C-alpha cells in the first residue's frame, strides 16, 4: 500500500481526485492500492518543560536554564483521533508519499510525524502548490526522494525548538526576578511577541515625546490667457511649488526655512508665467485583490472594529460550519485558473446568499469571463486568496459578525469581475521667475469596480496601469487644466506660504500594527539586518521584511493584551506602565526584530547543509545562559499591573458582551460603554433612567421589553420598546407598541 500524507484534508481530497476511484473512509480515502490521509495542520506539538523534568512544573530560578533537549513531541489533544488514524496507516504502508505544503513548515509538519512513529518505510515527496486537480495529477508524476528536503525540514525544526528554548527560559527568568520584587504576573518573552510589544511601546513614546517643528508649503494661483476661471477656487488655478533638490528641506522634502519660502513668494508673485508642461492621460485603476487573512483582518478592524483574533475565529466558523469560504489562513491574494473556471457557480452562490445586498446594476455588470490580475497562478503558493465557495450558505443562520465577514469576502471577490475604474489625469506645470509650480486634477470616466467598493488610499497599489490615490477634483479645475497648452502665457496672481506643524506617526490601531508587522524592516537601522529581513520574505506576496505570520500575529496580540502589556483605548494601542518598563528592561536583541533576521541567516545555512540544527541550538543555549546571567528587572514597574487591573476592575461589567467587538461593557454612573471600541449606551433616555437589566436585554436581544415612564418633548408620558439601532455605536431608537 502506498500512503499519501497531506498537510490538510482539502489537499488530501484533491490528491484522491487526481488518483481516482476514491472511497471515503472517514479519516482517509482509499484509491485502489493507494490511500490518502491528512493532518489538520500540525498533529504533534513539542512537550512542555515538565515532561522533560517533573521538577520543571514548579518555577525555580535554580533550574534555569531549562534543559529541553533532545526535543520530544506529543499528539495534540484536539486532533489525537486523526493522529491515531495516520499512525495506523503508516504501520500498514509499504511506501509513504510526503504531501506537506511546499515550504519549510510544511516539510517539518509531515517529517515530525514520520520521526515520531519511527517508520523506516521509503518516503517520497510530492510538491503541490494549489488545490487544482490537474496540477496535482501532474505533480504525482514527478515524485522525488524525501531525503532531498532534509535540510529544509531541519531549518524549520531549528526555528521551532529554538522558539521553545528562548521563550520558556527568558519568560521564567524575568518572571522569577520580578516576583522577588512583589510582582505576580507572568512576564512573557518571545522571539516575535516581544518585538511586537516593542513596536507598540516605541510608537507610543515617539508620539508622546514628539517635538513639533514647522515646515512651509508654498502654493500659487495663476491666470493664463485671460481665461475666466470662476469655476476654480477664487478664480485662480491652485498649483503647488515644485521643491528643487538644493532647497532646505527635511527628509520628506518639505521646506523648513521660512525665509526661503517667503523669498519664493516675494520673487514670484505678480510675475509673468508660462505653461511649460501640459498633459492629460487616460488611466485605469484595478480592483483591490481578494483578501489574504491579514488583509481581511485589517479590513474588519478598520471598518467594523473587529479584533484580528475574532476575525480569524469567524472565518474558521464560516469554513467549518457553513462551508462558505476557501482556506482561511492564507497569506496569498491571488487565485488559480480552476477558480476562474468556477466563477459562474461562485458568483451565483454569492448572489443567492446575499440577495438584495448589491445594487442590481452592479450585478448586471458582473462578467465571469473577465480575467483580471487576481488570476495569476505564478503568484499562488500553497494556498489561494480567501474567496467564497460555490455553495450558497444560509446567511440567516449566521451571526452578525459571520455575515459581516462573509459579505466583505464576497464583495471583494465580486469586484474582480467588474470593469476597471477609468479616469483622465491632467497635469500642468507653470514657470514664473524661474520657479516651477504644478497643478493636477482627475476626472472619472467609468466607475467600474468602485460602484461596489469604496476606493481608498490603503487599497491603492502602485505600478503601471494601477490605481493612484486621489479623488476627482470637479469638472471646473479639470476643464481649465485640459484647456491649457505648452507656451500659454499669463500671470502668477498670488503666492501663499502656509506654515504647517509636523505631526508624529499616529498611535497604532490593531489594523495599522498588523500592516506594519509585514514590513518591520523599515525600522531596522543596521543595513545588514534589514537586508536579511527583506530577503526572508522575497518569495512571500505582501511581506517585505516582516515578523510573524498572519495566523500567529493575532494570537500574539491577544497574549500581550491578556498579560496587561497594553490596553486599547478608542481603537488605539496604548502600552501600560508594565509594558513600557518591561521593554526598557529587556536587552535590545529581545525587543527588536534582529533575532528573526539572524535566525533566518542560520536557517539558510542549515537548509544548505553548511550548519546543523544541533549546532544552531548549541549556540542558542549558550546565548540564553548568558542572557539569564544579566536579567535586570530593577526598572520594571511590577506593581503597575496590579494597579492597572484594579483601575480596570473598579467598574461593574455587564454579562452581555459588546455586540460590535465582543469585549466587556463596563457600567459607570453616566454611561454603559465598551472597554475596547466606540460602543456606548446612555442610561437616561427621554427622562427615564434605564436599569442595568434593561440595558443588558437591549444589548443581548436587540430590543427591550415594553418600558413605561418615558417623557416626550411636550412633557407627556409614554411607553415604548427600546431597540438597538446600530450595533457599532450603541445608537438606540423607540419602537411603539400597537394601539389597542
pLDDT tens for 1-51 read: 999 999 989 889 999 999 999 999 999 999 999 999 999 989 999 999 999
How far apart, in Å, are the Cα atoms of 114 and each of 85, 86, 180, 617, 682?
13, 10, 44, 22, 60
Residue 244 DSSP class: -
When comparing pLDDT for 713 and 309, which is higher? Answer: 309
Is residue 357 scored above 90 in pLDDT?
yes
User: CATH for 293-417?
Assistant: 1.10.290.10
By percentage, how much of the chain surpasses pLDDT 70?
92
Instruction: Please tell me the predicted confidence (pLDDT) of residue 466.
Output: 37
Alpha-carbon Rg for the chain in angstroms: 30
Predicted pLDDT at 17: 95
Q: How confident is the model at residue 676 (pLDDT cuts 50, 70, 90)?
A: low
d(C-alpha 6, C-alpha 15), whole Å? 8
Q: Label residue 667 by pLDDT band (50, 70, 90).
A: confident
pLDDT on residue 653:
78
Residues in a beta bridge with 655: none
Residue-wise DSSP of 603-655? HHHHHTTSS-HHHHHHHHHHHHHHHHTT---TT--TTHHHHHHHHHHTSEE-S
Q: Per-residue pLDDT tens for 316-343?
A: 899 888 889 988 888 889 999 989 999 9
| Predicted local confidence at residue 469, as pLDDT | 40
Give the pLDDT mean for 444-456.
90
Give 548's pLDDT tier (boundaries 50, 70, 90).
confident
Would you state the pLDDT for residue 19? 97
Cα separation, 509 vs 516, in Å, equals 10
pLDDT of residue 460 exceeding 80: no
CATH 2.70.20.10 in the chain, residue ranges: 214-286+421-501
pLDDT at 237: 63
Look at 115-119, 346-350, 589-593, 648-652 and tell me which has the smallest mean pLDDT: 648-652
pLDDT of residue 737: 84
Residues of the chain with CATH 1.10.290.10: 293-417
**Averaged pLDDT, 188-195:** 94
The pLDDT of residue 462 is 31
Checking if the pLDDT of 471 tops 70, the result is: no
Average pLDDT, the chain: 89
- A 10 A CB-CB count for 306 gives 27
Q: Report pLDDT for 635.
A: 83
Mean pLDDT of 289-297: 95
Q: Which range (30-34, 77-81, 558-562) has the least confidence?
A: 558-562
Highest mean pLDDT, choosing among 157-166, 628-637, 693-702? 157-166
Q: CA 564, 566, 570: angle at the middle one, nearest 5?
A: 125
The per-residue pLDDT for range 246-268, each reduced to its tens digit, is 999 999 999 999 999 999 999 99
Query: Are 514 and 312 spatial neighbours (Cβ–Cβ below 8 Å)?
Result: no
CATH 1.10.460.10 residue spans of the chain: 158-209+511-628
Burial-class residue 281 by CB neighbours within 10 Å (0-12, 13-18, 19+): exposed
Rounding to the nearest 10 degrees, give the CA dihedral for residues 17, 18, 22, 28.
-80
pLDDT at 647 over 70: no
pTM score, whole prediction:
0.77
The pLDDT assigned to 740 comes to 60
Q: Average pLDDT, stretch 274-297?
A: 96
pLDDT of residue 68: 97
Q: What is the per-residue DSSP string for 52-103? A: H-GGGGS--GGGPSP---S--EEE-GGGHHHHHHHHHHHHH-SEEEEE--SS
Domain span(s) for CATH 3.40.50.140 in the chain: 2-142
Q: What class does CATH assign to 2-142?
A: alpha beta
Q: Of 37, 42, 39, 46, whose CA–CA distance to 97 is shortest?
A: 37
- Answer yes or no: 327 catalytic: yes
Confidence band (pLDDT; 50, 70, 90) for 231? very low
Confidence of residue 464 (pLDDT cuts 50, 70, 90): very low
- What fold is seen in the domain 158-209+511-628? Topoisomerase I; domain 2 (1.10.460)
Instruction: Examine the pLDDT at 564 and tell me if it is beyond 80.
Output: yes
Q: Say which range, 73-87, 212-226, 398-412, 712-726, has the weakest mean pLDDT.
A: 712-726
Tell me the mean pLDDT in the region 516-544: 80
Q: Tell me the fold of 214-286+421-501.
A: Topoisomerase I; domain 3 (2.70.20)
C-beta separation of 114 from 96 below 8 A:
yes
DSSP SS3 for 525:
coil
Q: What is the pLDDT of residue 31?
A: 98
Active-site annotation holder among 28, 174, 216, 327? 327
A 10 A CB-CB count for 249 gives 17
Amino acid at each position: 500500500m502506498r500512503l499519501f500524507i497531506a498537510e490538510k484534508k482539502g489537499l488530501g481530497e484533491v490528491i484522491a481526485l487526481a488518483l481516482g476511484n476514491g472511497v471515503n473512509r472517514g479519516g482517509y480515502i482509499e484509491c485502489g492500492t493507494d490511500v490518502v490521509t491528512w493532518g489538520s495542520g500540525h498533529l504533534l506539538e513539542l512537550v512542555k518543560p515538565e515532561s522533560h523534568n517533573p521538577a520543571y512544573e514548579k518555577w525555580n530560578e535554580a533550574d534555569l536554564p531549562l534543559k529541553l533537549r533532545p526535543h520530544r513531541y506529543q499528539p495534540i489533544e484536539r486532533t489525537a483521533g486523526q493522529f491515531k488514524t495516520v499512525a495506523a496507516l503508516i504501520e500498514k504502508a509499504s511506501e509513504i508519499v510526503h504531501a506537506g505544503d511546499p515550504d519549510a513548515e510544511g516539510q517539518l509538519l509531515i517529517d515530525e510525524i514520520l520521526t515520531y512513529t519511527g517508520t523506516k518505510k521509503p518516503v517520497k515527496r510530492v510538491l503541490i502548490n494549489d488545490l487544482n486537480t490537474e496540477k496535482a495529477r501532474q505533480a504525482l508524476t514527478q515524485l522525488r526522494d524525501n531525503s532531498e528536503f532534509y535540510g529544509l525540514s531541519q531549518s524549520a525544526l531549528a526555528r521551532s525548538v529554538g522558539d521553545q528554548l528562548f521563550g520558556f527560559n527568558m519568560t521564567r527568568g524575568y518572571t522569577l526576578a520580578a516576583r522577588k520584587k512583589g510582582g505576580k504576573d507572568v512576564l512573557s518573552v518571545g522571539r516575535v511577541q516581544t518585538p511586537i510589544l516593542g513596536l507598540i511601546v516605541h510608537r507610543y513614546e515617539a508620539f508622546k515625546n514628539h517635538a513639533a517643528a514647522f515646515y512651509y508649503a508654498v502654493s500659487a494661483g495663476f491666470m493664463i490667457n485671460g481665461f475666466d476661471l470662476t469655476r476654480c477656487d477664487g478664480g485662480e488655478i491652485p498649483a503647488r511649488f515644485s521643491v528643487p533638490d538644493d532647497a532646505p528641506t527635511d527628509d520628506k522634502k518639505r521646506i523648513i526655512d521660512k525665509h526661503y519660502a517667503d523669498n519664493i513668494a516675494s520673487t514670484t508673485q505678480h510675475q509673468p508665467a508660462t505653461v511649460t508642461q501640459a498633459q492629460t492621460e487616460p488611466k485605469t485603476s484595478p480592483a483591490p485583490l481578494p483578501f489574504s487573512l491579514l488583509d481581511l483582518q485589517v479590513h474588519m478592524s478598520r471598518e467594523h472594529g473587529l479584533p484580528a483574533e475574532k476575525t480569524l475565529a469567524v472565518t474558521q466558523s464560516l469554513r467549518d460550519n457553513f462551508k462558505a469560504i476557501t482556506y482561511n489562513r492564507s497569506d496569498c491574494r491571488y487565485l488559480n485558473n480552476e477558480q476562474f473556471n468556477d466563477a459562474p457557480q461562485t458568483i451565483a452562490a454569492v448572489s443567492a446568499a446575499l440577495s438584495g445586498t448589491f445594487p442590481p446594476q452592479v450585478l448586471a455588470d458582473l462578467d465571469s469571463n473577465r480575467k483580471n490580475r487576481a488570476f495569476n497562478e505564478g503568484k499562488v503558493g500553497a494556498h489561494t486568496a480567501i474567496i467564497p465557495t460555490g455553495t450558497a450558505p444560509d446567511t440567516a443562520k449566521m451571526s452578525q459578525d459571520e455575515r459581516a465577514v462573509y459579505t466583505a469576502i464576497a464583495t471583494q471577490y465580486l469586484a474582480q469581475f467588474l470593469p476597471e475604474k477609468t479616469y483622465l489625469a491632467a497635469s500642468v506645470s507653470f514657470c514664473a521667475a524661474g520657479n516651477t509650480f504644478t497643478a493636477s486634477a482627475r476626472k472619472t470616466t467609468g466607475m467600474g469596480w468602485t460602484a461596489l467598493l469604496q476606493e481608498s488610499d490603503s487599497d491603492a497599489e502602485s505600478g503601471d496601469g494601477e490605481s493612484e490615490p486621489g479623488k476627482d477634483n470637479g469638472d471646473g479645475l479639470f476643464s481649465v487644466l485640459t484647456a491649457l497648452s505648452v507656451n500659454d502665457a499669463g500671470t502668477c496672481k498670488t503666492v501663499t506660504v502656509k506654515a504647517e506643524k509636523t505631526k508624529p506617526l499616529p498611535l497604532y490601531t490593531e489594523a495599522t500594527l498588523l500592516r506594519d508587522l509585514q514590513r518591520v524592516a523599515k525600522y531596522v537601522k543596521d543595513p545588514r539586518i534589514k537586508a536579511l529581513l527583506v530577503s526572508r520574505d522575497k518569495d512571500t506576496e505582501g511581506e517585505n521584511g516582516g515578523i510573524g505570520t498572519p495566523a500567529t500575529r493575532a494570537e500574539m496580540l491577544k497574549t500581550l493584551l491578556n498579560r496587561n502589556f497594553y490596553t486599547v483605548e478608542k481603537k488605539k494601542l496604548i502600552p501600560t506602565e508594565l509594558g513600557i518598563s518591561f521593554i526598557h528592561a529587556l536587552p535590545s536583541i529581545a525587543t527588536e526584530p534582529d533575532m528573526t533576521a539572524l535566525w533566518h541567516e542560520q536557517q539558510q545555512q542549515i537548509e544548505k547543509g553548511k550548519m546543523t540544527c544541533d549546532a544552531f541550538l548549541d549556540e542558542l543555549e549558550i546565548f540564553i545562559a548568558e542572557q539569564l546571567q544579566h536579567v535586570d528587572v530593577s526598572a520594571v514597574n511590577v506593581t503597575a499591573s496590579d494597579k492597572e487591573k484594579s483601575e480596570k476592575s473598579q467598574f461593574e461589567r455587564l454579562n452581555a458582551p459588546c455586540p460590535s467587538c465582543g469585549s466587556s461593557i463596563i457600567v459607570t454612573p453616566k454611561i454603559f460603554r465598551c472597554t475596547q471600541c466606540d460602543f456606548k449606551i446612555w442610561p437616561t433616555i427621554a427622562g427615564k433612567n434605564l436599569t442595568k437589566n434593561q440595558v443588558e436585554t437591549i444589548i443581548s436581544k436587540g430590543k427591550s421589553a415594553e418600558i413605561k415612564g418615558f417623557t416626550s418633548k411636550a412633557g407627556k408620558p409614554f411607553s415604548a420598546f427600546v431597540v438597538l439601532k446600530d450595533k457599532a455605536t450603541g445608537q438606540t431608537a423607540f419602537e411603539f407598541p400597537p394601539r389597542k
